[in-house]
Amino acid sequence: MTKADEAWNKLFNKYNILDHIDTEGVFKISAKNIKEFYEPRLITKYDWSSSLPKLFRDNKLAILPTSRGTYVIGKFQAYQKLRYENIKPIVKTLPSWINTWDTFEITSEAVALNVAKATGMIDYVMMSSEGFPAIDTITGRLKSGDLKYKIDRKGQRAYDLHVDNAQVEIDAGFENYDRLAIIEAKTHIPEDFMIRQLYYPYRIYNSLNTGKPVIPLYFTYADDIFTFYQYDFDDMNNYSSIKKVKQYSFILNHTLSLNVDVVKQISAKSLMAPEPTNISYPQANTFQTVLDMMQYLIKPIGKDELAELFSFNDRQSDYYANSLRFLGLAKRLSGKYQLTELGEKVNSLPNSDMRNELIIRQMLNHITLKLAFDSYLKNNGEADDVYIDKILAENVVSISGSTIPRRRSTVKQWIEWIFSVIE
């Protein structure tokens, strides 16, 4: 149990928080109340639902600030799933006169955003007019001011929330001739994110009354891919009305264009290996994250550390690390994961055709993935769910019934990744 779990357990017991939420819908708490058991700023901000304390996760609760020193707890729909699409990345290059960036050592959100700006990715997403490139504007810590909005709750009517000067952080803000954009940036691909990270800056930018539309963008840099997820809010006054509009993915310098005939030959020469019985069949839908995890397995690392790095729970970190074992790119010794010799070779290569060909060979040597890939080809790139379920039922002894659709989802995402890196 973490210190945050211990503190919240004591707070829930002392103030009968669950009973209050059952009868009144929400519970309001102050930083002073929280400080009796722990430092408030350390246990009130959770960027991902997986990082919430166990009591919150078990009871489908979230916590939101209402001022600099007060909070409200309820069954709020406060998080948004980050649905990553396997799309072919657009190639961008740095200006030839820039020599200070090593493109394979981008270790912070700030540097990744600087690269995105310098290469024209941000202008592409913002559809900047010729001669009017996007300019960095408001960033850093701001106050929300007087903010009123509705937020949806599970099984209850929407709640009217009033926020008075809560702290807001904006990773990046841009303006071009026609539009404004606010960006929340991460150097990994989380399962979901706190909508507040986009909604509060969105409301602040709209309050400037510039007459320009505001584009909320979630940005990730993982496995050498720069991705922008564009969102909008159907109702500016409803926090939960967020919807994904579009996704843009970019890569520096490398065109990912393996010839489909090469991949067909790989499939034709597949070992058709039976699925292992000593490794769980993959349940890791975001293949980009599977590959991004390799850089952390150069030295032995446990699932707890991986969970913290990727904002996962322990079970999810196990799923993703075991996916690398499934592909022969990692091994597990004494409860810790580490790259195999092949994994080290793959990890040493940039995201490129050479690297991806090695990965595809490992994938298609598995009978289930080989047969699924062939069925995509036969069906003009479309998935046959019934056939994939049949493949899994016949070839994976450890799964059956309701677990098959979850594994099918992973198979489809992995095959779609293959198509995103070939012509």
- DSSP conformational letter for 138: -
The pLDDT of residue 102: 64
The pLDDT of residue 365: 97
Rounded to whole angstroms, the Cα distance separating 321 from 125 reads 33
The pLDDT of residue 104: 57
pLDDT digits (tens), the chain, 423 positions: 788 999 999 999 999 999 999 999 999 999 999 999 999 989 999 999 989 999 999 999 999 998 888 999 999 999 999 999 999 999 999 888 888 776 557 889 999 999 999 999 999 999 999 889 999 998 888 888 889 999 999 888 999 999 988 888 899 999 999 999 999 999 999 999 999 999 999 999 999 899 999 999 999 999 999 999 999 999 999 999 999 999 999 999 888 888 999 999 999 999 999 999 999 999 999 999 999 999 999 999 999 999 989 988 888 999 999 999 999 999 999 999 999 999 999 999 999 999 999 999 999 999 999 999 999 999 998 999 999 999 999 999 988 888 999 999 999 999 999 999 998
The pLDDT of residue 138: 85
Long-range contacts of the stretch 32-35 (C-beta < 8 A, 24+): 32/69, 34/7, 34/71
Q: Where are the beta strands (DSSP E) in 264-420?
A: 330-333, 336-339
Q: How far is CA 207 from the centre of its chain?
A: 29
Beta bridge partners, 219, equal 185, 228
- DSSP conformational letter for 222: E
Among residues 142, 357, 376, 370, the alpha carbon closest in space to that of 268 is found at 370
Among residues 215, 223, 249, 217, the alpha carbon closest in space to that of 92 is found at 249
How buried is 100 (Cβ within 10 angstroms: 0-12 exposed, 13-18 middle, 19+ buried)?
Answer: exposed
The pLDDT of residue 256: 84
pTM above 0.85, yes or no: yes
Kindly list the distances between the CA atom of residue 154 and the CA atoms of 46, 60, 240, in Å, as whole numbers in the listed order. Answer: 19, 8, 11
